Structure 1
């Protein structure tokens, strides 16, 4: 059966031991299957692989119809933020630890890619967050996030106080170590460790999770993703904001972090028979003790 995809980009966690030979094996396999191969620019530079074109994210968006990500969830998050605007489907081969969104085990990559490039896969779309930091009426920072937007106190400072509004309606003033606005994808990340619920990716919602709140009655709340969330810095020193792994430090009193649903969505391709619930069972060890 001919390949459904004509040009694949390879992206690797180039700091990881053993990633270069794995990327080369995948590239050789794809070429033999009739798929043109390119490497993401930083991956090519840092692994020293020179046998294939090295493309920037914009060039991948213009020339490729598939991206194969070899790494952990952090690598996938960075790639997803860059490529979602080009509607490029992503396949994740786990070369990290947890692997909630890089869900193909390394030992199974060949069989899985063989099926995927022939069109035998499950496709899933995930929502993204986008937002900005507004100071004196001007946006001083703009970004995208697949997992979460976090507002938090400085490393040596006491808790912060923030004013939260949803769709222009006042919700609460919260005093805490921070506040997380999480997508369903991010609900199994920092939001989960802070006591938030798990949201199925099919739910059109965000979860708002206080981090170590001063008041025990400040609980996580699930919100519709159709509304805009505003978080204003009221008090506290050295507050910072984080869009996934992109940070802006030293927020000032009066700064507002405005978060909304992005117009872009992430496309994930999974092996046939993939199940979100099976992923939760494996990664959260829900099946321990089951014979």
Structure 2
């Protein structure tokens, strides 16, 4: 089905979504509500993609949805809202697509047959009814399908490309991971949990082993099992090797017995032995809660120093008992 162009009469300047990410959100009196983490759009079979709202991370690190109807203005460095924000956790609906999480870095084909391009950014504009639409895609040509080398950049209409609604090629997550580079593992886990399963697996696979291990420790059981089992055996074993032994044990215990044994055989012998030792204890026993990683202090360390070390966030909670 051919795309039909929608008539847009801009009432303000274009807003590039890549630059909007991280922008502070304020209420009408200037109080800081949070920061933008994503833009939610509905991709239609005809017409321009409709922007329906923003995902905003509020002070409690909760990610909430702010409808476009509550956005008063978007200016450089700030988004002004009506101040009425629903604090319920954001949950993506079936028809919705996350621009940063799902569309950035997507590879598309030009309808004129001139080759493939990769989305670098998108811009949205308002029409005279104050509705927001994605009107332009900032893309870069891929000059080599094998090496994904880059060519010239273009600003094109959504109607000039195919596969915007559905990715047909493996998709990078460069833009999203750059945005999350300095984020805590728990915050990255929250972002992944909000993504559709297919994209969640795709993004997780592009994290480094240690980063992915930290994120898996923060995810719920179903999500982390789904991600780990999507990896090839060697990569999954490498990730388990760098996890805290107690967390690796919990994750291995959540796998089918045959799959768990395959991974244990692929892990480094010393790391696998730690996991096997902890697996021998019941989940709710002291042994099941402990870790094999010791806290080592000098002989002259006092009790206050010990307590300070076991309270550090990078030491497993089981050691603080």
TM-score, normalised via structure 1 length = 0.28
| Higher Cα Rg, which structure | 2
Q: Which structure features the higher share of helix residues? A: 2
TM-score, normalised via structure 2 length = 0.26
User: Relative contact order (alpha carbons < 8 A, sep ≥ 6): 1 or 2 greater?
Assistant: 1
Q: Which structure features the higher share of strand residues? A: 1
